[in-house]
Structure 1
Amino acid sequence: MDPLIEPIRAASRQLVRELGFLRPGLAGTELPPSAVHALIALGQGERLTAQRLAGLLGLEKSSISRMLRKLVEAGLVAETPDPGDARAKQLALTAAGAARLEAIHGFARRQVAAALARLPDGAGETVRQGLSLYAEALGAERHRPARIEIRAGWQPGLLGRMLSLQAAHYARHHGFGAAFESVVGRGMADFCGRLGSGKNRLWGAWQSGMPEALGGIAIDGEDLGEGRAHLRWFILAEAARGSGTGQRLLAEALAFVDAEGFSETRLWTLRGLEAARRLYEAAGFSLAEEFQGDQWGRVVTEQVWVRPRP
């Protein structure tokens, strides 16, 4: 073992203690460390959503959601609709949040200045360089892309996982309930019984070392008839969005469609899903029909997208 490892670990623990991360009232506030770092990130001028903030801070989306809710209730952060994605909200500091952030910066600057004053001449630059190099090395390890594998065909638990992701996503973002889950579940059960046909195929995405699928997609080549393929149940866990996994799943499905010679591919979705719309348009789909429907338990605007055989 490298003899530097344990001394660096010990110094890192001491740094955490001396900066106050283990004590209440970080940076002279009543806020927990995650909230202090969130205010600092929001104060840097970049437009952030909850998902982007979660990635910057290395936190789970659920933890970010709870923390943001408290910051909004405290009047420190405001949420506004994201014009590029109807499902997301842009975050910004309020006037009170900006004032709180300035107090945090003032506290931290005084803390660092006091420590630097105790160092020998020239040692401050050594500290800066060492901390920067160490932080960058740790960050490079954390942000190393996880290997995501696409597997074709039935896999134990894949359809169940896709149903769970569908139910949770559409309940959270569209208010769908048991009726939606029931309709999707019946369709999946019927499809599962027809997977032996060469016209039907299923794909899932797995992150290396993780037991649960990140999501999946299906091509049903029989339920529409007339040589048309039905793209169904395309879903990804929120943690996997933006990783390119959705494009890979869609590409696998459409390569199968083209190889099997289907005349066209159709999919049904809802109006307002801008990220999905851009993905479908890039793959050659165009909007063919829009109508009001209530099969999911409430009236929504449904869309039919069609991709002709290239």
Structure 2
Amino acid sequence: MGITPEQAEKIREHNRWAHDLGATTYDDKQPYMMPSAVTEFQKDIRYLRSFFPKDSPRVLDLGCGTGFMTLAFAEQLCWVTSVDISSGMLAELRRKIAIEACTTLTASIQIVEEDVDKFLANTDALYDGIVFHSVLHHLPDYLETLKQACRRLLPGGFLYIATDPLNRKMMTPLNRWMARASELEEKWVNASLYRIRYLCERFWANSLPDAIQKAWRMFYASGASQRTPDSETKTKPDISLVEYHDVCGGIDEQEVIAVLKTQGLQILRSEKFCLYRHAWLTGLARSLRCPNVFKIIAHSTSSPIPVGGTYE
């Protein structure tokens, strides 16, 4: 992809930095936490779990973040290895596990703080399933990472990719307009909300009733970005490195599919869908049929697709 080792290290460094900073409010801003999206992902997970009806499959969650997929697979009686570069995100995952207070859940999850590429280069373990959820666009060379991941997949296993941004060059003009509308909403509306919050906390923090302060924090966390006024901080993660491939135009899912096929995987499902940070924008995009993200389910062709493995 034309990325030098120095550039790759910068991408990793800024991703670690950004996700450590935003870990405690990360889930509040993710569109895949909306109930309708959660329902769809749970359906995917049940389908993938049906590949191993009698066993407890070993699943590798690469770039696991705060553990949305990790916990979902663990609840389906899978053994999950959760890998992420951010200590802050993994701390949130540990907090969620502690809240569950379930010995079985705790025992079935192994947490590894490491860069995804370095983990794949150093492990000799094999897995029944490998998950990339909203992570490819953060990786320096996602095609090479996918090749390495496929080599860690057991015969008959699955590979699940979800919620990565579509390549905007492949979008219709209306699709690109929707993506641009989302960017403007993020840039102007949320930045304005931050400045209001910043002023309130700086000048009136001690005078506002606790209930109002709490309501404001909840409102802000529900969708606003973590941008800060330039005068407040001089150093912060570079978004062009954190969201590297999204900023560069998105992920070419056809290129991803081609790589998976060269690694001996069969594509069972490839789907484009709409998922924006706010429900109203997601609803508008769906009505206009303007998808912005994609998912892929692939299966090792060295083993037959399980009978009864269907969506419900």
TM-score of the two chains, using structure 1 as the length reference = 0.28
Larger Rg computed on CA atoms: 1
Higher relative contact order (CA 8 A, sep 6+): 2
Larger strand proportion, structure 1 or 2? 1
